[in-house]
Amino acid sequence: MQKSLLMQALLKFFAGVILLACLLFIPCGSFHFWPAWLLMLVLFVPMLVAGIIMWLKSPELLQKRLDAKEKEQEQRFVVKMSGLLFVLAFVLAGLNWRFQWILLPSWIIWASAAVFLLSYALYAEVLRENAYLSRTIKVQDNQKVIDSGLYAVVRHPMYAASILMFLSMPLILGSLFSFVLMLAYLPLINIRMKNEEKVLESGLDGYADYKKKVKYRVFPFIW
């Protein structure tokens, strides 16, 4: 069981590495796109480490994270549109570097990499606090409302981390155009959150009271 789970995770991991490399370096027309190497470093090294830790300590959580088949129609729409958005943003970043349209300063690239790593740490803390996290929206057997730690501050700390990660990606790549395009992720994630809360409120005991207790969804005093 654990060996097959490891193989499944590794296949998805290396498929992601190859796909991202193609989306960045083919439009760029060169391997001298150093921000792309930086993005792949800060993205895939922590991902590999986190995956190994989950495989060793919590294989059930790793399996949940690998399950990406959404049942909700709204969620399938969000997943498809998000995927298209990422493809366009990465290709645009490669073209931007190739033709030198508007290149952001190096300090913005490095600062964005730091923000990305901090958001990864936030993401890891969310995984530690909530063993019910999966990539699909559903109420699991024996699931309970988590209202401590980061969940005492905002209702969706995982989405807070993902927003910071996804908006920092185009800045790591030095592409202002890709950043503007990636802003479309915000209304998409808002649709996902609203649908998720609808599912949780109807199927998870105590979630309606939790919503009254914790007012903000992703960022305190902002959203």
pLDDT of 96 > 80? The answer is: yes
Q: 136 pLDDT exceeds 70?
A: no
Task: Report yes or no on 61 lying in a domain.
Answer: yes
Taking 90 as the threshold, does the pLDDT of residue 58 lie above it? no
Q: Averaged over 20-37, what is the pLDDT? A: 98
Residue 213 has pLDDT above 80, yes or no: yes
Predicted pLDDT at 114: 98
**Regarding predicted confidence, which is higher, 71 or 105?**
105
Number of domains in the chain: 1
Average pLDDT, the chain: 91
- The residue-averaged pLDDT of 89-103 equals 97
Range of the domain at 139: 2-213
- CATH number of the domain bearing residue 60: 1.20.120.1630
Burial state string for 18-52 with b = 16 or more CB within 10 A and e = fewer than 16: eebeebbbebbeeeebebbebbbebbbebbeebbe
Q: Can you give the pTM of this predicted structure?
A: 0.92
Task: Give per-residue burial for 121-155: e unless 16+ CB within 10 Å, then b.
Answer: ebbbebbebbebebeebbeeeebebbeeebbeebb
Q: 3-state SS of the chain? A: CHHHHHHHHHHHHHHHHHHHHHHHHHHHCCCCCHHHHHHHHHHHHHHHHHHHHHHHHCHHHHHHHHCCCCCCHHHHHHHHHHHHHHHHHHHHHHHHHHHCCCECCHHHHHHHHHHHHHHHHHHHHHHHHCCCCCCCCCCCCCCCCCCCHHHHCCCCHHHHHHHHHHHHHHHHCCEHHHHHHHCCHHHHHHHHHHHHHHHHHHHCCCHHHHHHHCCCCCCCCCC
Backbone angles phi, psi at 92, to 5 degrees: -65, -40
218 located within any domain: no
Is 221 within a domain?
no
Q: What does the chain come to in residues? A: 223
Average pLDDT over residues 197-202: 90
* Within-domain flag for 219: no
Q: Is residue 220 part of a domain?
A: no
Residue 148 has pLDDT above 70, yes or no: yes
How much of the chain exceeds pLDDT 90, in percent? Answer: 68
- % of the chain with per-residue pLDDT over 70: 94
